[in-house]
Chain A
Amino acid sequence: MRRFGRRDFVKTVGATAAAAGLVAAPAVRRADAQAKTIVFGGSVPLSGRAAETGLNVNNGYLMAIKYLNEEMGGVEIGGEKYKLELKMFDDASDPARATTLIQRQIDEGVDFFLGSFGSNIVLPTAAITERAKRPMVQSGGGSDQIFTQGFKYVFGMFPRASRQFISSVEFFKAMSPRPKSISVIFTNDAFSKTNAEGAAKDSKAAGFDVLEMYGLPEQITDVSSVLASVRSKTPDVLICTTHDQNSLLISRQMVATNTNVPLLYQTLGPQLATYRETLGKFATGICVQIYWDERAPYKDKFFGTAQKFAEYYRKHVQRPIAYHTAGGAACIVTYVQAMQAAKSIKTEPVRDALAATDVDTLYGRVKFTPEGDGDAILLGPAVGQVQKGVVQLVHPAAAKTGTLIYPTPKWSEKT
C-alpha cells in the first residue's frame, strides 16, 4: 500500500478546500443578495484647517450608523430591513478635492449624501449633488448662499448664517442691565461674514447701537490694532463670529493686552475643551452659541434621549462630544425617518419627505424651511457661558442650567 505522503496530503486538502469553496460560494452570494444596504456618501475634513470640527461631525455619522446597525439590527423601511453604510472620504478641508470626491461618488451611483464641514466646502459640493438630484443632509454649512440659490435637495441642520443671531439678539434683549452698544469682529469667509452681517442687522433692528464692524483676513496671527480700537471705543458686547482657532487667538490677545469688555460673545470656540483649558480662569464669563446640549430634554425615536446618545458615544469614542457630533448623528436619524415616512429609498420620495420633515430627534425638533435650512427658532442656537471651566446654558429660560454673569469681571479680577 502506498504511503500517504506530504504531497498527497497537500493535494487532498487543496481539493477539499476547492470543493468546499464551490459549494459555499453560492451561499455567500445569496447572503450578499439578501443584505440590503443603504449607502450614505460624502466627504468630511479629517485633515487640514477644518479637521478639528470635521472629526466631530464624522464621529456623529459613525456613531449613528453603528448604533442603528448593531443595536437595532438595521432599520425598517417600507416593510424591509436595511443596513446602513457610510462612505465618507477625507477632503482635507479643500473644496476642490471635496467636489472631485463627490462627483466620483455620484458617478458610482451613491444616492444619499451627508455634508462636509465648512460653508466653503458644503456650497460647491451641494451644487453638484443638486445637479444630480441627490439629497444632501448636512450639519456643516450655514452660509446663506447654500440656501438662497433655489436648491431643492440640500437640507441643513443649522439656520442660515444671517438668521443665526435671531435667538442671540433675544438673549441680549433679556440681559440685565440691558446692553446698549455692540461691536462685531469677523473674518473674511462666507460663514463668518454673513453671520456678522446678520448679527449687525438684527442688533440694529432691536435698538442696539452697533459701534464698529471689524473685518479681518480669513487666517489671522495678530489682532492688536483691532483691540487697540476696541479699547478706545469699548462696546457693551463684543461679538466675534469667528471660527475656533481665531476665536482663541482673539480672546488670548484680549487678555494679554488687557482689553476688557462687559461681555465677550463668540459664535465658536468656547464650546471646545481645548479652548477652555488654554484660557483657564480667563475663560469664565465668555459666551458662546450652543446648538445642542446633552442635558436638553430632547427625545429620539432610536436613541431615546440626547443623554443616551451622549452615553453611547462616550462608550465608543474617547474624543469629547461636541454639538457638531450630535448634529452629524441627527443627519442620519433624520434621513432614516424621512425614508420611513416615504416608505421608499428612492431619491425623489425621500427628498419630498425631508422637505416635509417635522420630527423629534436627539438634536431637537428637526424642521426645515422651504429653502432647506434649519428652522431659526427650533434649530437656532441657545447661549452658553463658561463658568468654572464648564459651559452652562444661560438662554433661553426653558433650557437654563446656570445664571448669566454680567457684566463679566475684568481679566485681572477673574479667579
Chain B
Amino acid sequence: MSLILQTILDGLVLGGLYSLAAVGFSLIFGVMNVVNLTHGVIVLIGAYLAYAFWHGLGVDPLLAIPLVMAALFAFGYVYQRGLIQLAVDRSSLLASMLVTFGVALMLRNVLVLVFSPDFKSVTPSYAFTVFFLGPVTIDLVRLSALGASLVLLCVLAGVLRWTAVGRVIRATAQQDLAARLCGVDVRHVYGITFGVSAAFAGASGAIIGIVVPFSPPDEALWTINAFVVVTLGGVGSPSGALLGGLLLGLISTLTSQLIGPQFPNAMMFLILVVMLLLRPSGLLGNAFSGSR
C-alpha cells in the first residue's frame, strides 16, 4: 500500500514539473496555432540562466525565477515579432514550424558553445533534504518544484482570467478577426503571448535544473513531453496543462511501478495515439484556434 502511495506522490510531483514545462507550449499552440519546436530549448535556456545566476552570483535558483522570466519574456517577444510573425506572414503556419525547428537546432549549439556540452546541475543547500510522512518519503526539492509549479500556473490562470492583457489574449485566441475588429493589436498580443510562454518555459527550466541534471540535447525531450501534455490535457489553458502534466506524471510512475521501468515512454505514446484518435482536443479541449 505504501508503495502505491509513494508511487502516486512521485507521479504528482513529476507531473507538476511536466505541467509547468508544457503550459507555454499550450498557450502558443492555443492562441497562435503555432507548434513551437523551440519550446524545449527555451526550457533549457531557463535552466542554464538559473545555473548562471546560482553558479556566478550565488542567487538561489527559485529566487532567480523572476529574473529568468523577465529575460525570456523579452526574448520571446522579440523572437515572435522578428521571426515567427515574418514566417507566418510570408509563408504559412507550417513555415513557422520549420523555422522553430531550425532555431532550436541553432540555439542548442549556442548552448554547447557557451556552456560546453558537459551536463550541469544546480544544487542549492536544500537540494538533498528529505522528510518522511508516515511510510512515504518526500524529496524537498521535488516538492518545492511542485509547489512553485502550482503557484506559477495559478498566477498565469489569474492573469489570463482577470487582467486586461489576459482578456485580450483570450479574445485573440477565440477569434483573431473579431479581436482585430475590436481594435486589438493582434501582432502585439501574439508577441506578448509568446513572451509569456517563453517566460513560463524559462521558469520551468529553472525548477527542472534543481531536480535533474541537464545538457543541451535534452531539449527534444522537453518539447516532446510538452506535446504529450497538451494532447492529454487540452490546448490553450493552464488547467489543461496542469491536468495533462499530472496525468502524464502519474502514468509515468505507475507504469514504471506496475508494468516495468522500461515502459513509461511506450505507455506515454500509446496514450498519445489513443487521445488523438478519440479526443483530439484533449480532456479539457476548448474552442481555441489551436484545438479546432
Contacts and interface: CB of A to CB of B under 8 A. Distances in A.
A55 B117 contact: yes
Contact of A282 (B10, B120, B128, B218): B128
A306 B30 CA distance: 60
Given A228-B257, A248-B213, A48 B139 contact: no
B189 to A, nearest CB: 33
A248 B260 CA distance: 21
A292 B139 CA distance: 36
A252 B121 contact: yes
B203 to A, nearest CB: 17
A225 B7 contact: yes
B3 A252 contact: no
B207 interface: no
A214 interface: yes
Contact of B217 (A46, A48, A221, A224): A48
Contacts of B213: 245, 248-249, 252, 278
B195 to A, nearest CB: 27
Interface stretch (A140-148, A255-263, A369-377): A255-263
Contacts of A249: 212-213
Contacts of B140: 256
Nearest to A185: B261
A215 B261 contact: yes
Contacts of B253: 222, 224-225
A49 B262 contact: no
Contacts of B137: 228, 231, 257-258
Given A214-B261, A249-B212, A256 B128 contact: yes
Contact of A221 (B7, B14, B127, B141): B14
A54 B216 CA distance: 14
A248 B123 contact: no
A272 B120 CA distance: 12
Contacts of A257: 130, 137, 139
B109 interface: yes
A26 interface: no
A411 B129 CA distance: 11
A280 interface: yes
Nearest to A93: B217
Given A216-B262, A228-B10, A49 B128 contact: no
B286 interface: no
A54 B116 CA distance: 12
A345 interface: no
B54 to A, nearest CB: 12
A262 B129 CA distance: 20
A347 interface: no
A127 B241 CA distance: 45
B217 A225 contact: no
A34 interface: no
Contact of B139 (A214, A253, A274, A278): A253
B119 A274 contact: yes
Contacts of B7: 224-225, 228
A52 interface: yes
B264 interface: yes
Contacts of B218: 219
B170 interface: no
A261 B221 CA distance: 30
Interface in B225-269: 252-253, 256-257, 260-262, 264-265
Contacts of A229: 3, 257
Contacts of A217: 261-262, 264-265
Contact of B215 (A49, A54, A215, A223): A49
B270 to A, nearest CB: 14
B261 A224 contact: no
B221 A226 contact: no
Interface string A218-258: 01011111101101100000000000110011001101111
Contacts of B274: none
Interface in A22-48: 46-48
Contact of A46 (B117, B130, B212): B117
Contacts of B109: 47
Most buried by B among A221, A223, A231: A221
A66 B123 CA distance: 38
B119 A244 contact: yes
A226 B257 CA distance: 7
B151 to A, nearest CB: 21
Nearest to B119: A245
A222 B10 contact: yes
B227 to A, nearest CB: 15
Given A48-B117, A222-B14, A231-B137, 9 more contacts: A47-B112, A48-B217, A52-B119, A228-B6, A244-B119, A252-B212, A257-B130, A274-B119, A278-B123
26 contacts: A47-B109, A47-B117, A51-B117, A52-B116, A52-B117, A52-B118, A52-B215, A215-B262, A216-B262, A222-B10, A222-B212, A224-B253, A225-B10, A225-B253, A228-B7, A245-B213, A249-B213, A252-B127, A256-B127, A256-B128, A256-B130, A258-B130, A258-B132, A272-B118, A278-B123, A411-B128
Interface of B: 3, 6-7, 10, 13-14, 108-109, 112, 116-121, 123, 127-130, 132, 137, 139-142, 212-213, 215-218, 221, 252-253, 256-257, 260-262, 264-265
Interface of A: 46-49, 51-52, 54-55, 93, 188, 214-217, 219, 221-226, 228-229, 231-232, 244-245, 248-249, 252-253, 255-258, 272, 274, 278-280, 282, 411
